[in-house]
Structure 1
Amino acid sequence: MERFAKVAPAHDCSATSGILIAQARPGWSIPAQLQTLGGDRESVTIDIMMPYYGDPTLLRTSVESVLRQSDPDWRLVVIDDVYPDLEPGRWVAAIDDPRVEYHRNAVNLGVNGNFQESVHRARADFVTVMGCDDIMLPNYVARMHETYALFPDASYVQPGVIVIDAAGAPANPLPDRVKSYFRKQVATGPVLSGEPLAASLLKGNWTYFPSICWRRDVIQNHGFQAKLNVALDLALQLDIVLDGGVLVYDPVETFMYRRHTASVSSWSANDGSRFQEERDVLRAAAERTRAVGWNRAARAATFHLSSRLNALTRMPSAVAARDGSGFRSLLRHLLA
């Protein structure tokens, strides 16, 4: 067992779940359908990689939702980023299902590093990097198989998502209403690519990263840009789109995304670091899209409307907290 020091949370899942799903336990029985796979994990076509650092209760809820998939063709890999409490890892390791694996990093890798580790460890045809506080509906794996069968050239699939709050109740806060608006502006058909897709993502990133199912060769080929912790999914998608990749949007809801203020993105936004990172990504995107003649996408990156509006909505919180540094950072982003 590795020794560990107290470190800042890399993946904070601190909240109490209100979703009523039976608690998994050692001795969990393997679904009968798994017998059709012969227990051979190498035949699995979807890897569900779960970087972990956070609330053990939410981890259990997330893992339980994977165990309840109607389609047994999956492998779950929980990658513990040296969470101080060893009990969550023991719980996962004790699950009696050959499709479930547990790994504990030797040192804390942080958000970006543990995401990279998750992608590196994937070996199935398709990969989902699931949040340790999110929930898969029972039809997620089955629907991803169906979607890739219909669109075999897809680079990645964005399924329909239900947003829930910290307690697990359905929610529709402002960030998600904005996402819905921008998604409806572009999602006129299931297949999206090229400048229209790039421009839509740069106006407002309407995707939900933990719910996306990627082709493994695509995500491993591009990976995550070093040092990004919040805008890493937008940067990855732009890399794929500029390389000719295709997104398929499936509106059928198969995933629950948890929105709460304990998330990495919410915490970073409070002190303005999120917006500095977003500015860096958007400036680079403007240069790259302009270089290939995607002027509409370049204008979207330069103007970054939704990102500016997000900064504006954070300002009252900075004022209330008397956070002058954070307020100035938000103001810089608003006027940039």
Structure 2
Amino acid sequence: MLDIMLPHYGELRLLRIAVESIVAQTDDRWRLTVLDDNPADRETGIAEYFAALGHPRVQYRRNPRNLGITENFQQAVDLAEAPFMSIMGCDDVMLPRYVERVHQLIDGHPGAVLVQPGVEVIGADGSVVRTLADTTKRRVYAPRFAGTVTMAGEELAVSLLRGNWLYFPSLVWRTEEIKAVGFDPALSVIQDLKLILQLVTRGGTLVADDEVVFHYRRHGESLSASSAVTGNRFSEAREFFLAVAARMDEHGWPRAGKAARWHLSSRIHALTMLPAAAKQRSGDGVRVLTRYAFGKPR
């Protein structure tokens, strides 16, 4: 069984698409829990939709208070009971073979802690798109492989610290391992990478597959996109990477420590955000982005 946890913050239209993609899976070894964290004055009709859906493996829970993204992610981890779990985005889409393929990968790699199935990126209208960020992920940072690849140890840490090529909402996690680590409540945007790196230093193995079974929706309205333009994402990222560098050095992984200290992909990302910050006349954002992109590693 796979626990699919679905933290929700957006609109009912996209949520319905996400839920219907899960219900349409070719493999019924899944259970869906929706964690609605919308503020009280936001979209209505969500509870009514789930009541009408009446699916035996779909549970809807509305948070009594707004938790925020990281705390809602942690709630997803706390509530999961199946041996493996995913934390899907409320605007993403599972293709029909997602659950079937994930179970095949788990069966073939029983020691895996993380599974990264094949992903395509879609835009706001649902069509497949080719963005600079995702092209860079695939061609520069992601390992070159056909079929399935297994990675672990410093090799995996260095790869992710040079550029995080994983798609968090599509990942499948070994539940007992993610429960043992959990999300850092002090982080709001980069919390997934910290958790993954902690699992890697605990000895966790990643299995990546190239069969596309997931559609990750990328658009400019997300928290990560807006925080990137203002520079808030990179203020958090600077302290994160420097702390990770120290931990990697202490762990005896000097190459990973060096990759964290330089965090080149994150710096390049900051450079790409400069035109948008300037267009919005965000002086603070421009200063933060410039300092982050060109600052010397410590």
Give the TM interval when normalised to the shorter protein: over 0.9
Which consecutive aligned stretches of 4+ in structure 1 deviate over 6 angstroms post-superposition? none
Aligned ranges 1:242-253 → 2 under 5 Å: 242-253=201-212
Instruction: Give distance in 2, aligned partners of 1:227 and 1:90.
Output: 34
- 1:82 corresponds in structure 2 to 38
Amino acid at match of 1:63: V
Amino acid at match of 2:154: E
Aligned ranges 1:52-63 → 2 under 5 Å: 52-63=8-19
- 2:158 corresponds in structure 1 to 199
Give the structure-2-normalised TM-score.
0.95
Instruction: Give distance in 2, aligned partners of 1:214 and 1:145.
Output: 12
Q: Which of 220, 236, 242 is 2:195 aligned to?
A: 236
- 2:81 corresponds in structure 1 to 123
Give the structure-1-normalised TM-score.
0.85
Are 2:107 and 1:149 aligned? yes
Instruction: Give distance in 2, aligned partners of 1:187 and 1:212.
Output: 18
Note the C-alpha offset of 1:176. 0.5
Per-residue displacement from partner, 1:126-159 (whole Å, max 9, x unpaired)? 1010000000000000001100000000001001
Q: Which of 253, 269, 273 is 1:294 aligned to?
A: 253
Sequence identity percentage: 46
Aligned ranges 1:257-268 → 2 under 5 Å: 257-268=216-227
Partner of 1:202, secondary structure, is helix
Q: How many residues align?
A: 292
- 2:283 corresponds in structure 1 to 324
Answer whether contact 1:78 1:101 (CA < 8 A) is retained.
yes
Please report the RMSD computed on the Cα atoms of aligned residues, expressed in angstroms: 1.2
Instruction: Give distance in 1, aligned partners of 2:7 and 2:30.
Output: 16
Note the C-alpha offset of 1:187. 5.0
Q: Which runs of 5+ in 1 are unaligned?
A: 1-44
Per-residue displacement from partner, 1:45-77 (whole Å, max 9, x unpaired)? 101000001111000000010000000110010
Answer whether contact 2:244 2:257 (CA < 8 A) is retained.
yes
Instruction: Give distance in 1, aligned partners of 2:119 and 2:94.
Output: 10
Instruction: Give distance in 1, aligned partners of 2:181 and 2:113.
Output: 12
Deviates more, 1:181-190 or 1:164-173: 181-190
Are 2:21 and 1:65 aligned? yes
Instruction: Give distance in 2, aligned partners of 1:173 and 1:272.
Output: 21
Q: Which runs of 5+ in 2 are unaligned?
A: none
Deviates more, 1:321-330 or 1:181-190: 181-190
Instruction: Give distance in 1, aligned partners of 2:232 and 2:28.
Output: 41
Answer whether contact 1:186 1:197 (CA < 8 A) is retained.
no
Amino acid at match of 2:6: M
Are 2:245 and 1:276 aligned? no
Amino acid at match of 1:100: V
Amino acid at match of 1:333: Y
- 2:264 corresponds in structure 1 to 305
- 2:178 corresponds in structure 1 to 219
